[in-house]
Amino acid sequence: MKKIVSLCFVLTITLVAFSQLATPPDGGNKKAMVGERIGITDVTIHYDRPGVKGREGKVWGTLVHKGFADLGFGTSKAAPWRAGSNENTTIEFSTEVKIEGQSLPAGKYGFFIAYQPEECILIFSKNHTSWGSYFYDEKEDVLRVKVKPVALDKSVEWLKYEFMNETENSATISLQWEKLMIPFKAEVDLDKLQLESFRRELRGERSFSPGWQSYQQAAQYTADRNIALEEGLKWADQAISDPFAGEANFRTLSTKATLLSKLGRTAEADSLMKKAVPMGTMQQIHQYGRQLLAEKKAKEALEVFKANHQKNPNQFTTLMGLTRGYSANADYKNALKYANMALASAPGLQAKTQVEGMIENLKAGKDVN
């Protein structure tokens, strides 16, 4: 009978423990999550936010202990701060990153800080499931980096993490609380990761859906970044001639032509663009003409603008193309002729003002490009 009563008691306690309702965290702290994508890398931080709550001047060095300490609970006798409150603060990276210039593999990490006024040690640990830092074990460290804390002018009441100074391949992640900020830089090798992603995706469903666009996008990336040009050329060929997904159109042909040009195969590139131009929309052809002007190929640009006007006569865009084309070749008389025609068809005040300025320059014998 006693065994039955004891068993019922244990089951009751267990059920109570597992049936607690959702309530805010203990101590009035706040649960939070913040994340951002750096390049194609997702960075996500989960943490609990303690408040200053009138304890100004007693946060750093008191509430947040210095260095490593015996917290009087758990297994750790030299624990850093948990970089928040309650459970582990965790930070997750979807790809490999560099933290303050040091490599860190993709994964989810417990994040700890050994605080000192002059220099802090940031710790990324394999253990991300414990409660706070009471069970911290340095053998589980994956990476340690040192950073300098920065004083803040205004007090931050609730601890927070913020992404700052973003670029296409990096961001500064900062912990801010009271009048102190602890920042660290996270950066990725964007081109390496992007190429790896293209290779992976183009072996899956993206290889045939949405068709040529996937191959063209990958090829164009290599052209724009001037990297992996030979590999980009293979993707460009697939965009054009793949038996399931390929299509010869202005975008696929012009992308391949760009790659050929970057590889020094200019004759092949020029020949391919002669095939591409008749396939282009008015805007595509116009932009190609502008590109040739930027490359100081004035005669070639004029031929493209002429072809565009023949295909799309007396449109504002094509009239402007001829204006620019003739001007680039110092034929200001014809440039002025088409500028006046463009003025009559200008679609709005801004366009009209632009053309009027070009007309004034042409009258003065100045190139409008």
- For residue 14, what pLDDT is reported? 43
Q: What is the mean pLDDT of the chain?
A: 92
Query: How much is the average pLDDT of 229-234?
Result: 98
pLDDT score of 11 more than 60? no
pLDDT score of 95 more than 90? yes
Q: Quote the pTM value.
A: 0.83
Query: How much is the average pLDDT of 47-74?
Result: 95
- For residue 331, what pLDDT is reported? 96
Tell me the pLDDT band of 25, cut-offs 50, 70 and 90. low
- For residue 27, what pLDDT is reported? 63
Question: How does pLDDT run across 263-313, given as a tens digit for each residue?
Answer: 999 999 999 999 999 999 999 999 999 999 999 999 999 999 999 999 999
Two tokens, residue 218: 């990958």
- For residue 104, what pLDDT is reported? 98
- For residue 245, what pLDDT is reported? 84
Domains in the chain with CATH codes: 27-188 (no CATH), 191-280 (1.25.40), 298-369 (1.25.40)
Question: How does pLDDT run across 321-365, given as a tens digit for each residue?
Answer: 999 999 999 999 999 999 999 999 999 999 999 999 999 999 999
Question: How does pLDDT run across 100-131, given as a tens digit for each residue?
Answer: 999 999 999 999 999 999 999 999 999 999 99
pLDDT score of 22 more than 80? no
